[in-house]
Amino acid sequence: MRIAIHAVGRLKAGPERELTDRYLDRAAKSGRAIGITAVASREIAESRAARAEARKDEEAAALLADLPDGAVTIALDEGGETIDSARFAALVGSARDRSVPALVLLIGGADGHGPALLARASLKVAFGRLTFPHQIVRILAAEQVYRAITILSGHPYHRS
C-alpha cells in the first residue's frame, strides 16, 4: 500500500519543508518492512478564484482528480472527528490488510475543503479544535504517518 499527503499550496524551502520531508523519509524507510511500499507528498496549486466557495470547489476538484484508483481518503478538516494516534495506526493497518492500494490524507487550502471532497472522503479527521497554519498541518500529518508505521511495526517511538 502507498500512503500520500495531498495538500493545496506549496511549502517553501525552509524548516517546515525540512521537517515534513524528514518524517516522510523516515516513514518510507520504516514502512517497507510492514507492507507500505511508498510514502510521498503531492502539492496542488491554490485556486485564484475571487470567492471562497469557488476556491474550495476548484481545489476540491483538483484534489479529487489527483486521487489514485481505489484510494481510501482521509480529509483533514476542522469539523472532522478527533482520533488518537493508536486509532489512526489501526486505520492505516486495516487499509493495508485489506490490500487497499493507497491511503491519501487530504489537506485543503486556507478556506478548507469543498463539499464534493468532504462527501467523497472515507473519513474526516481534525487535529484537535485549534486552528493551525497549513504548513504545520503538513508536518503533523507526516509525523502521524511515521508514528502509525512505528506503532504497526512495534517500534518504541510511540509511547502511550
The per-residue DSSP string of 25-55 comes to: HHHHHHHGGGT--EEEEEEEPPP--SSHHHH
* Mean per-residue pLDDT of the chain: 95
Query: What is the pLDDT at residue 131?
Result: 87
Task: From 9, 139, 117, select the one nearest 65 (Cα to Cα).
Answer: 117
Q: Judge whether 100 and 70 are in contact, CB under 8 Å.
A: yes
9: cell is 499550496
pLDDT band at 160; cut points 50, 70, 90? low
Query: What is the pLDDT at residue 97?
Result: 97
Q: Which amino acid is present at 109?
A: G
Could you report the per-residue pLDDT of 36-59, keeping only the tens digit for each?
Answer: 999 999 999 999 999 999 999 999
Could you report the per-residue pLDDT of 97-119, keeping only the tens digit for each?
Answer: 999 999 999 999 999 999 999 99
Task: Tell me which CATH homologous superfamily contains domain 2-153.
Answer: SPOUT methyltransferase, trefoil knot domain (3.40.1280.10)
Sequence-distant (6+) residues with CB within 8 A of 110 are 9, 46, 134
Report which of residues 66 and 83 the model is more confident about.
83
Q: So where are the chain's domains?
A: 2-153
How many CB atoms are located within 10 Å of the residue 53 CB?
A: 11
Spatial separation of the C-alpha atoms in residues 155 and 11, rounded to whole Å: 29
